[in-house]
Amino acid sequence: MKKLMRSLAGETLPVPPIWMMRQAGRYLPEYKATRAEAGDFLSLCYNPDLATEVTLQPIRRFGFDAAILFADILLVPQALGADLWFVTGEGPRLSTITDAAGLAKLKGRDDIHDTLSPIYQTVRNLASALPSETALIGFAGAPWTVATYMIAGRGTPDQAPAHALKDENREVFEALLDLITDATIDYLDMQVQAGAETVKIFDSWAGSLKGDDFRKYAVEPTRKIIAELKRRHPTLPIIAFPREGGEGYVGFHAATGADCVAVDDSVDAAWVAENVQPAGCVQGNLKSSHMVTGGDALISEVRRIRDALSGGPHIFNLGHGITPDADPDNVSLMIETLRESVSA
């Protein structure tokens, strides 16, 4: 069994498997060349041959234990009928959903697959192209995070527009979340049918939900997605990432049914080992800034996190995505340090 799948199954390994969020991306010169060939970001996402190529690039260069499908969490809103475009240097823009009339214009869950069919082809390509030891991860954004972009029309520092709709028009807000949840189930199901061996649910803005809202809008949609995916695919392991969940990480395995909970770098690995890892596999949580600065601090932190989480199932990763200013040599140093003899 592949190393990543062994960890997801609950096995504690002497050296944990490693992959890296956004491992195919702008820090790699070969990615930049392929993106230039595609013309723009969305064209790259929807071109199965080129999306396959950029997914494979970090595997060839670094030998990660897993590849994650190259796509974007905002393809689901686009498939539902939202307008989506990217502004160079600023990020995504979408048409906004702020009332019942806007919600009514969206498509149903059954109408998303024509738009998303190139993504499924990319998964099929990867399933046959990856080395036999490399696991294939599919993914989607969690409903709350996706909704924040659909409501605001862009990323926001505090997700205020989504919180406002939640507080002022709960019926529309919850209907939008339900639609995203249903579409996400079908999207991930199709990825698994195409060859994804595990999937990850990214809730990048979960930390802005507090108290009962965290339970209702971070935990519950994730639980619903996982329950239905496991009904359709009983042996499918699933990773959940409620970023900046803080104390909400505690009990997240049991509350959602996730096989692995990814943690960000705002929590200490020793705390994770004591409070989260006893419930199952954890993933994380090196600060992305170490991929920029490197050096002895990187080596020390890799060893510290590895050792802190060595008592249970662990997938080594960053606490968030790698940044465009990262040095590929530091990625190599991270991997070499992680895989060194643990007695070194």
Within a domain: 109: yes
Which residues does 129 contact at the CB level (< 8 Å), separation at least 6? 52, 56
Within a domain: 172: yes
Return the CATH number at 294. 3.20.20.210
> pTM of the full predicted structure?
0.97
Q: Is the pLDDT of residue 342 over 80?
A: no
Residues 82-133: tens digit of each pLDDT = 999 999 888 999 999 999 999 999 999 999 999 999 999 999 999 999 999 9
Strand, helix or coil for residue 138: strand
270 secondary structure, DSSP code: H
DSSP states along 286-325: E-TTHHHH-HHHHHHHHHHHHHHTTTS-EEEEESSPPPTT
Within a domain: 179: yes
The residues carrying an active-site annotation are 22, 26, 35, 72, 149
DSSP states along 43-101: HHHT-HHHHHHHHHHHHHHH--SEEE----TTHHHHHTT--EEEETTTEEEE----SHH
Residues 143-187: tens digit of each pLDDT = 999 999 999 999 999 999 999 999 999 999 999 999 999 999 999
Count of domains for the chain: 1
Computed over every residue of the chain, the mean pLDDT equals 97
Phi-psi region of 199 (alpha: psi -120 to 50; beta: other; left: phi over 0): beta
SS3 content of the chain, % helix, strand, coil (to 5): 55, 15, 35
Q: Is the pLDDT of residue 236 over 80?
A: yes
Within a domain: 8: yes
Which residues does 29 contact at the CB level (< 8 Å), separation at least 6? none
Q: Which domain holds residue 182?
A: 3-339
Within a domain: 132: yes
Within a domain: 268: yes
Q: Peptide bond before 285: cis, by omega within 30 degrees of 0?
A: yes
Within a domain: 344: no
Within a domain: 191: yes
* Mean pLDDT, residues 3-19 taken together: 98
